[in-house]
Chains A and B, each alone.
Chain A
Amino acid sequence: MAEVTMRVWRGDASGGNFEDYTIAQNEGEVVLDVIHRIQATEAPDLACRWNCKAGKCGSCAAEINGKPRLMCMTRMDELPEGPVTVTPMKTFPIIRDLVTDVSFNFAMAERVPALLPPPMPEDGYRMFQEDVERGQEFRKCIECFMCQDVCHVIRDHEENKQYYAGPRFFIRYAELEMHPLDQNDRREYVREDMGLGYCNITKCCTEVCPEHIKITDNAIIPLKERVVDAHYDPVAWLGRKIRRRTKRTSAEAGVQPTP
């Protein structure tokens, strides 16, 4: 049985350091298996977050050799020889060891103005596959928040978090914008309050997405185009000045973003 050295960050908000664990590794194992073996033997209090261990829930994101990965989908035998470094996601405050406080994301979720559909016909809505497919790509998101972790607008700038929803929520806004049933209009809100303009499309988010969602190309860029159209179109501008908007803004929608 092979052995491997795992260099795991241990600590809490007040600080911490790396601890090395030299431990058995079996054929076919993923990083989470080895972390679990450390828990079950040497360090039962080693904190890590996980649920499904199948790449479907997005709980076990961490930085493996410096790169955001799902621990459950990263095979040990694909990593280079030598110690494997495992650290918590950098963008979020530490709770303990590999567990971070991701509440920023849940706060941003509360601020999303909800879907506003027309009343449902007796036998349900009619929608067509080619129309739902655009949104389905974004609904594959498992909320691992690695795109948020890697986004440099907030990774190195804590102060930006209050103005910036991040890639996970830009795909949510894009999904709602492209939703066949939605009658809400969040374009000005995404520009003004959610900081879409801060994103300068470096595609870091797309690179780390474990669901291979084309975040930048299929969500953020089309969203930016729609927002720009709405904001800078001179006819729309004039319209805003002289009469009430026909499409609803988030503030008028049935569900208001929480303050």
Chain B
Amino acid sequence: MTTSPYEHHEYDVLIIGAGGAGLRAAIEAKQRGLSVGIVTKSLLGKAHTVMAEGGMAAAMGNVSSEDNWQVHFRDTMRGGKMLNNYRMAELHAKESPDRVRELEQWGALFDRTKDGKILQRDFGGHRYARLAHVGDRTGLELIRTLQQKVVSMGTDVFMECKVLQLVHDESGRIAGAVAYWRPTGEFVTFAAKSVILASGGVGKSWKFTSNSWESTGDGHAMALWAGAELIDMECIQFHPTGMVWPLSVRGLLVTEGVRGDGGVLRNSDGERFMFNYVADMFRAETAESEEEGDRWYEDHSAGRRPPELLPRDEVARAINAEVKAGRGTPHGGVYLDIGTRRSAEYIRRRLPSMYHQFMELAGVDITREAMEIGPTCHYIMGGVKVDADTAATKVAGLYAAGEVAGGMHGANRLGGNSLSDLVVFGRRAGLAASDYVEGGAGPSGFNWGEVESAVARALAPFENEGGENPYDIQRDLQEMMQANVGIIRTGSEIDLAISELETFTERVKNISVKGGRAYNPGWNLATDLPSMLTVSKCTSRGARDRKESRGGHTREDFPKASAEFGTFNLAHTIAGGAWDGEITTERSALLTMPDELKALLEEGK
């Protein structure tokens, strides 16, 4: 091997991302005695996982003894509008109880039932009370528990280190990655026998988003450039309840737990409008009147669930329709009211961080006033196509888990299924990558040409004079994607986005950055933009080709789901792997579900 001109490290397993999936994968590989390196763009413990509020879904049956993995599987598939990789949904439903319980061995402290078991709460789309939780800060509990476990195992963590590109060996197997340290701007290379992508989502390409600066789709883009396939990229979840005012916090998440705990949605006429938006698929299990819905809160056997707790895609579309029909609030949202329905003491105990968030940022006391909320870009269901059992991509040695992986959630994710996804498939990725390393099929060599081209591309904005400010490009991109590939889409706007994205590609090649390489956010953004463009292109192409409405993809010009489109995913590849290379989009048939699982979906329809 050539000596690296940069700082160089070697690992059995390299993990990109330090959220729930990356940390869970690291624990698994460390337990096998392998050397593990974790690379993260931020400090350890700051990953987007901390933003998860409501809980993690696992059919433990601690609150509703009728619950079991079969019902959880059914809820997940129906919520995903049957576009899911059924095997992932099956493994997830079967394994998440064990993954929740093991967290307690590592120090997690979930809220309890009266008899000392883990307490579970109701959430949209879940038939039974299923979400293990800690108040409204469950994601923080998950990340802290995994972080403390990983640290106690003596794992190497590279903080504030941004991976630019994956590196292959001569035969095309994954051999590592090239990155730079944000504090110094110095490059660093990692030779690794296997790489696990656990890099989270893409939401920063939209203007109103609950996602942090980190969610730029780095892992999605790097996987595509490295030869893997992306699927379902058009399926993006717009969470129904984001803050809409003040403008500076527009998009900030308001947990679904507000509705789980009794909050209701009203339009400017004061009407609980969700009763007008119950799709046929959910009619049998949804309350018909306000009285029935309210009875359910008191006693789940005395009525059916209120329509405010339908899956997120249904609620987001309904809010959008109300605002469009002129029944919105002064700031363009609808009202979420819990203050008139629950006592102040109850609200402050059950939803402490929501109470503070509104009090401190909006000056609104949610125990007395209604919140103004509207849909916000929240989560991408689509991602790297993986094998369900092993999280393996089609590139040898490359694995993907968590939000960066596609398939588990189909066209729409149920609340609470993300945290459990992270630990179920984080563990499976760690296991499979370890098996691969121990099987000796790892890389031979390290393609230094790929390193040099990634470094040259990263440094180009320093040499370019008089070019564009990366912040201007990012702002324009966010506005363009929000306007043309947002919550409700139409063919002509999507076509416009696709042609605009080509213009953005040229603009990104003409970026100039000011200042040095040490902790320079302008430069950091310049290195994120190629990923943001790559995922935006895949999302737009998927949105163009999926001529139907399904889950997190709604076409005004094709408002119904089509049986034909329900049989395949749209898969994207880039031949040659150049970041600005031509993307190919093809239909990829869904896995065929075994009859015994099909039967589960029919039950209780």
Q: What separation, in Å, do the CA atoms of A140 and B109 have in the docked complex?
A: 11
- Residues of B close to A141: CB separation below 8 A: 144
Cross-chain pairs A/B with CB under 8 angstroms, 12 sampled:
A44-B520, A51-B46, A51-B212, A52-B51, A52-B212, A55-B356, A55-B360, A56-B51, A56-B137, A97-B519, A124-B117, A128-B116
A50 to B213 CA separation, bound complex (whole angstroms): 8
Q: What A residues does B353 contact at CB under 8 A? A: 55-56
The answer to the question of A54 belonging to the interface, with a C-beta cut-off of 8 Å to chain B, is yes
Considering the chains assembled together, what is the distance between the CA atoms of A20 and B546 in angstroms?
51
- Cα A99 to Cα B43 in complex, Å, equals 12
Of the listed residues B104, B154, B469, B516, the one surrounded by the most CB atoms of chain A closer than 10 A to its CB is: B104
Residues of B within 8 A of A30 (CB): 248-249, 361
Q: Are A28 and B212 in contact (CB under 8 A)?
A: no
Q: Which of B130-156 contact A (CB under 8 A)?
A: 134-135, 137, 140-141, 144, 148-149, 151-154
> B residues within 8 A CB of A115?
105-107, 148
> With A44-B522, A114-B149 given, can you name 11 additional A-B contacts, CB distance below 8 Å?
A27-B246, A44-B513, A50-B212, A51-B46, A51-B214, A99-B183, A106-B159, A112-B148, A125-B104, A128-B112, A141-B144
Residue A186 at the chain B interface, CB threshold 8 Å:
no
Chain A neighbourhood of B513, CB < 8 A: 44-45
Known: A40-B471, A45-B513. A28 touches B245 (CB 8 A): yes
Question: Would you give the 0/1 interface string for A29-49, flagging 1 where the beta carbon is closer than 8 Å to chain B?
Answer: 110010000011101111111
Which of A26, A28, A40, A136 is close to B362, meaning CB atoms less than 8 Å apart? A28
Known: A51-B212, A120-B105. A132 touches B246 (CB 8 A): no
- Contacts A56-B50, A114-B148 given; indicate if A45 touches B523 (C-beta within 8 A): yes
Which A residues lie within 8 Å of B576 (CB)? Answer: none
CB distance from B366 to the nearest CB of A (A): 15
**Most chain A beta-carbon contacts within 10 A, residue among B137, B249, B516, B521:** B521
Asked if B475 CB lies within 8 Å of chain A CBs, one says yes
Contact of B101 among A43, A50, A124 (CB under 8 A): A124
Interface centre among B45, B149, B353, B472 (most CB of A within 10 A): B45
* B44 close to A106 (CB less than 8 A): yes
B107/A51 in contact, CB under 8 A = no
Can you list, as one digit per residue, whether each of A55-76 has a CB less than 8 Å from chain B (1) or not (0)?
A: 1111100000000000001010
Q: Judge whether B17 is part of the interface by a CB distance below 8 angstroms.
A: no
Question: B112 — which chain A residues lie within 8 A by C-beta?
Answer: 127-129, 132
A43 partner residues in chain B, CB cutoff 8 A: 514
B252 at interface, CB cutoff 8 A: yes
Q: Is A181 an interface residue (CB 8 A)?
A: yes
Q: How many residues of B contact A (CB 8 A)?
A: 69
Q: Is A243 an interface residue (CB 8 A)?
A: no
Provide the B43-66 mask, 1 if CB < 8 A to any CB of A, else 0: 111101011000000001000000
Expressed in whole angstroms, the minimum distance between the Cβ of B407 and any Cβ of chain A is 27
Asked if B253 contacts A73 (CB within 8 A), the reply is no
A50-B137 Cα distance, complex, nearest whole Å: 19
Bound CA span A48–B520, Å: 9
Which one of A125, A139, A143 contacts B141 once the chains associate, using CB atoms below 8 Å?
A139
Q: Any chain B CB within 8 A of the CB of A258?
A: yes
B195 CB, nearest partner CB in chain A, Å = 24
For A54, the closest partner residue in chain B by CB is B252
Q: Does B68 contact A (CB under 8 A)?
A: no
With a 10 A CB-CB cut-off, give which of A12, A57, A129 has the most chain B CB atoms: A57
For B248, the chain A residues whose CB sits under 8 A away are: 26, 28-30, 33
B104 touches A181 (CB 8 A): yes
Whether A45 lies near B521 (C-beta < 8 A) is yes
Q: Kindly state whether residue B111 has any CB partner on chain A within 8 Å.
A: yes
Residue A53 lies at the interface, judged by CB distance under 8 Å to chain B = yes
Q: Which residue from chain A places its CB closest to the CB of B62 in the assembled complex?
A: A124
- When chains A and B are docked, how far (Å) is the Cα of A30 from the Cα of B43? 22
Chain A residues in 8 Å Cβ range of B470 = 44
With the chains together, A114 CA to B150 CA distance in Å?
10
**A46 vs B469: C-alpha distance when bound (angstroms):** 14
Known contacts A44-B471, A56-B51, A58-B46: does B518 contact A96 (CB below 8 Å)? yes
**Contact among B43, B111, B134, B141 for A102, CB-based, below 8 A:** B43
Tell me if A16 counts as interface (CB < 8 A to partner B). no
Inter-chain contacts of B140 with A (CB < 8 A): 56, 139-140, 142
Binding site for B on A (CB under 8 A): 12, 26-30, 33, 39-41, 43-59, 73, 75, 95-97, 99, 101-102, 106, 109-110, 112, 114-115, 117, 120, 124-129, 132, 135-136, 139-143, 176, 179, 181, 255, 258
| In contact, B521 and A47 (Cβ under 8 angstroms) | yes
Picked from A26, A117, A136, A176, the residue with its CB within 8 Å of the CB of B134 is A136
Per the bound structure, the CA–CA distance linking A117 and B521 in Å amounts to 43
Residues of A within 8 A of B116 (CB): 126-128
B357 adjacent to A55 (CB under 8 Å) = yes
User: What is the minimal beta-carbon distance from B323 to any residue of chain A, in angstroms?
Assistant: 20
With A53-B212, A114-B148 known as contacts, the answer to whether A120 contacts B104 (CB < 8 A) is: yes
Complex: chain B residue closest to A32, CB-CB: B248
Shortest distance from the beta carbon of A72 to any chain B beta carbon, whole Å: 9
Please state if A95 and B519 are interface contacts (CB–CB under 8 Å): yes
Q: Which residues of A contact B141 (CB under 8 A)?
A: 139
A124 touches B118 (CB 8 A): yes
With an 8 A cutoff between CB atoms, is B326 at the interface?
no
B1 an interface residue at 8 Å Cβ cutoff?
Answer: no
B151, A132: Cβ atoms closer than 8 Å: no
A58 to B42, CA, bound (A): 12
Asked if B115 is at the interface of the complex by the 8 Å CB criterion, the answer is: yes
Contact (Cβ within 8 A) A39 B522 = yes
| A146 to B489 Cα, complex, angstroms | 45
How long is the Cα–Cα vector from A180 to B135 in the complex, in angstroms? Answer: 19
Which of B183, B356, B361, B523 contacts A75 (CB under 8 A)? B361
**Complex CA distance for A52 and B52, rounded to whole angstroms:** 11
Within 8 A of A (CB), among B512-543: 513-516, 518-523, 525
Chain B residues, CB < 8 A from A47: 519-521
Q: Which of B48, B249, B253, B525 contacts A28 (CB 8 A)?
A: B249
Q: Are the CB atoms of B249 and A53 closer together than 8 Å?
A: yes
CB atoms of A28 and B361 under 8 A apart? yes
In the assembled complex, which residues on chain B have CB atoms less than 8 Å from the CB atom of A33? 248
Q: How far is the CB of A110 from chain B (nearest CB, A)?
A: 6
Q: How far is the CB of A69 from chain B (nearest CB, A)?
A: 11
Contact with A along B212-244 (1 / 0, CB 8 A): 111000000000000000000000000000000
CB distance from A105 to the nearest CB of B (A): 9
B46 CB, min distance to chain A CBs, angstroms: 5
Is residue B599 within 8 Å, beta carbon to beta carbon, of the partner chain?
A: no
Report the separation of the CA atoms of residues A133 and B247 in the bound assembly, to the nearest whole angstrom: 36
Whether A54 lies near B253 (C-beta < 8 A) is: yes
Knowing A53-B212, A58-B46, A120-B101, say if A45 contacts B514 (CB, 8 Å): yes
**Which of B115, B183, B518 has the most chain A CB atoms inside 10 A of its CB?**
B518
Q: Give which listed residue, B51, B134, B515, contacts A139 with CB less than 8 A.
A: B134
CA distance A129 to B335 in the complex (A): 33
Q: Which of B148, B246, B248, B249 has the most CB of A within 10 A?
A: B248
- Min Cβ gap A255→B in Å is 5
> What residues of chain B lie closer than 8 Å to A44, measured between beta carbons?
469-471, 513-515, 520-522, 525
Give complex CA distance A117, B46 in Å.
26
Bound complex: CA A95 to CA B182 (Å) = 10
